[in-house]
Structure 1
Amino acid sequence: MKIRDMISKGEPTVSFEIFPPKSSYALETVFDTLTELKDLHPDFISVTYGAGGTAQSNTVEIASRIKKDFGIESIAHLTGCTSTKEGMKRTLASIKDSGIENILALRGDIPQEKLADKNWKPEYRYASELIDDIKAAGDFSIGAACYPEGHVDSINKVDDLKNLKRKMDHGADFMITQLFYDNDLFYQFKEKLELVGIEQPVIAGILPVLNIKQVKRIQEISGCNLPPKFLRILDRYAHDPASLQEAGIAYAVDQIIDLLSSGVDGVHIYTMNKPDATRRIMENISCVRKAVCRKEPQR
């Protein structure tokens, strides 16, 4: 089923993200994770795009098996910045042959070695160019990434919104946000989308914080705002890993309940392949999830 059709039903989706292993021999660990996640009844599961040939093919295989073996809709991530047009054509053909109906189109992060090479020129400069080729390859439901606090590489937030508008105008059906910890910033972002004429649904990306190292990494990659409530949690439990994990899960639960109660189009949980934490979150939001939906989750 296409994600655009799920969202059109008017009920918020709840979905997960997982990532493939760096090598094929570890594939079974991902399927063990999926066995646990299946019981939580997500509307769909996304699979990130690996940074090498083996990992890239694993993305397609995992997304295909999520749908065929686990009975859950899947969405495969595709990144364009280091891909060739010819290579992308083959990948899209493989995705289509595998029965995958949904793709998240991303520019991707440019590796440092590419940035240092003055002769290197990407064949896909923008995600919108990748979206064009995805549309030409078949009838996929296409998602795009969006950034409530602006992309770290953007000149400013106006430029960031222009880039997002270009992606939507080129044919993206919906958006999934980068992680954020301040729901007010998300609601403000939604208002800005309306002002620039972006009407496609927005799925909120939530990453539960489980350890201090993770927080530092998040700050390095995204530069996202950490609100006072969040900082108080970090300060109080910085030297108590078990309590920090409990508090991180509770914070994510509060975020999701607020989003669902406010009429969000969907919530996408970045699981980091940790089903136990994801299960805790789903158990705590189950009543609210049922209340805002007219039907029970798929079984």
Structure 2
Amino acid sequence: MKTAELFEHKTVFSLEVFPPKPDTDESVIYDTLNELSDISPDFISVTYGAGGGQNGCKTIQIASDIKERCGVESVAHLPCIDLTKAQAVEILDSLQAHGIENVLALRGDRRGDLSETGDFRHASDLISFIKERYDFNIIAACYPEVHPESVSAVDDLKWLRHKVDCGADHLITQLFLDNKYFMDFSEKARIAGVDIPIEAGIMPVTNKRQIERMVKLCGVQLPKKFVRVLEKYEHNETALRDAGIAYAIDQITDLIAEGVDGIHLYTMNNPYVAKKIFSAVESLISVSSCALA
């Protein structure tokens, strides 16, 4: 099933996982998936993973196994920053052969001073390329707090609308910790003509290193409420984890009340955290979905 169809009748709840590192036993990801399948998410997305090449093959295989073994719809991430058109065709043909219908088309992170060698400058270029040649459901990323490289929020919305015009069918946001950024962004996106589902990306923050990485890579703003949580529990790992779970539950509860199209949970391959959050919001999602039916 194409993920864009899911939003017609329900509030979507989905998960993200990542492939194991090269030096990690592959059985670990399947143990994680077995636990996550208890949630019965609407779909699970699989990142491309660090290092490219072989990890791209892992993404395809894991996405295929999610669909075939777990009976859950899957989404394969495809970053294009160093991707040639020939490589894109090879990957997309393989995804198609494995029965995968959904692709998350991304630019990907720039790597310091390394030059870019691919044929696609922007995610929108990859979206157009896929749309012209295949029948995939295409998902794209968006940024409630503005993409770090955008010159302004207005410019960022212009590029987002361009992704939609190129063929994106469904959007997933970068993580955010203050819902007001998401609500303001969603309203402005609709005014700008973005008329496809916008799924809110939520990452439960469970350790201090994760927070530092989020701020550095994503430019995420830390609201006062969150800073107070961090200051109170930063020296107690278990307490910080539980506080992070509670914070994410509060975010999701508020977003569902505001009528969000869906929630995409960045699980960090931690089924304990994902299951705790889902158990707390499951009834809210069910009630919200009934209202849409």
Q: What is aligned with 2:12?
A: 13
Which residue of 152, 166, 170 corresponds with 1:170? 166
Tell me how far apart the structure 1 counterparts of residues 53 and 15 of structure 2 sit (CA, whole Å): 24
Tell me how far apart the structure 2 counterparts of residues 19 and 219 of structure 1 sit (CA, whole Å): 20
Return the letter of the residue paired with 2:141: A
Shift in CA distance, 171/42, structure 1 to aligned 2, threshold 3 Å: same
Deviates more, 1:106-115 or 1:266-275: 106-115
Residue deviations 1:104-155 (CA, integer Å, cap 9, x gap) = 100111222424xxxx553100111101121133211111000000011112
Q: Which runs of 4+ in 1 moved over 6 A?
A: none
Q: How many Å apart are 1:281 and its aligned residue?
A: 0.5
Tell me if the contact between 1:77 and 1:103 (Cα under 8 Å) persists in the aligned partners. yes
Return the letter of the residue paired with 1:66: I
Shift in CA distance, 35/200, structure 1 to aligned 2, threshold 3 Å: same
Q: What is aligned with 2:280?
A: 284
Tell me if the contact between 1:76 and 1:102 (Cα under 8 Å) persists in the aligned partners. yes
Which residue of 196, 201, 208 corresponds with 1:205? 201
Tell me if the contact between 1:93 and 1:137 (Cα under 8 Å) persists in the aligned partners. no
Tell me how far apart the structure 2 counterparts of residues 70 and 138 of structure 1 sit (CA, whole Å): 25
Overall identity of the aligned pairs, in %:
46
- The answer to whether residue 4 in structure 2 is matched with residue 4 in structure 1 is yes
Tell me how far apart the structure 2 counterparts of residues 289 and 26 of structure 1 sit (CA, whole Å): 35
Tell me if the contact between 2:81 and 2:117 (Cα under 8 Å) persists in the aligned partners. no
Q: What is aligned with 1:92?
A: 92
Secondary structure of 2:109's counterpart equals coil
Tell me how far apart the structure 1 counterparts of residues 266 and 83 of structure 2 sit (CA, whole Å): 25
Q: How many Å apart are 1:25 and its aligned residue?
A: 5.9
Tell me if the contact between 2:104 and 2:140 (Cα under 8 Å) persists in the aligned partners. yes
Q: What is aligned with 2:104?
A: 104
Secondary structure of 1:45's counterpart equals strand
Tell me how far apart the structure 1 counterparts of residues 203 and 24 of structure 2 sit (CA, whole Å): 27
Residue deviations 1:273-297 (CA, integer Å, cap 9, x gap) = 00001111011112212211229xx
Residue deviations 1:164-192 (CA, integer Å, cap 9, x gap) = 11110000001000000111110000111
Q: What is aligned with 2:70?
A: 70
- The answer to whether residue 269 in structure 2 is matched with residue 273 in structure 1 is yes
Tell me if the contact between 1:7 and 1:265 (Cα under 8 Å) persists in the aligned partners. yes
Which residue of 239, 242, 265 corresponds with 2:238? 242
Normalized against structure 1, the TM-score is what? 0.94
Q: What is aligned with 2:260?
A: 264
Return the letter of the residue paired with 2:18: F
Tell me how far apart the structure 1 counterparts of residues 139 and 125 of structure 2 sit (CA, whole Å): 14
Deviates more, 1:272-281 or 1:121-130: 121-130
Q: What is aligned with 1:184?
A: 180
Tell me how far apart the structure 2 counterparts of residues 24 and 203 of structure 1 sit (CA, whole Å): 33
Tell me if the contact between 1:22 and 1:54 (Cα under 8 Å) persists in the aligned partners. no
Structure 2 matches for 1:287-298, cutoff 5 A? Answer: 287-294=283-290
- The answer to whether residue 102 in structure 2 is matched with residue 79 in structure 1 is no
Aligned length: 290
Tell me if the contact between 2:82 and 2:117 (Cα under 8 Å) persists in the aligned partners. no
Runs of 5+ in structure 1 lacking a partner? none
Tell me how far apart the structure 1 counterparts of residues 119 and 223 of structure 2 sit (CA, whole Å): 39
- The answer to whether residue 208 in structure 2 is matched with residue 215 in structure 1 is no
RMSD over aligned CA atoms reads: 1.4
Tell me how far apart the structure 1 counterparts of residues 106 and 158 of structure 2 sit (CA, whole Å): 16
Return the letter of the residue paired with 2:39: L
Tell me how far apart the structure 2 counterparts of residues 293 and 158 of structure 1 sit (CA, whole Å): 32
Tell me how far apart the structure 1 counterparts of residues 159 and 122 of structure 2 sit (CA, whole Å): 8
Residue deviations 1:68-105 (CA, integer Å, cap 9, x gap) = 11100000000111111101110000000000000010
Normalized against structure 2, the TM-score is what? 0.96
- The answer to whether residue 48 in structure 2 is matched with residue 52 in structure 1 is no
Secondary structure of 1:209's counterpart equals coil
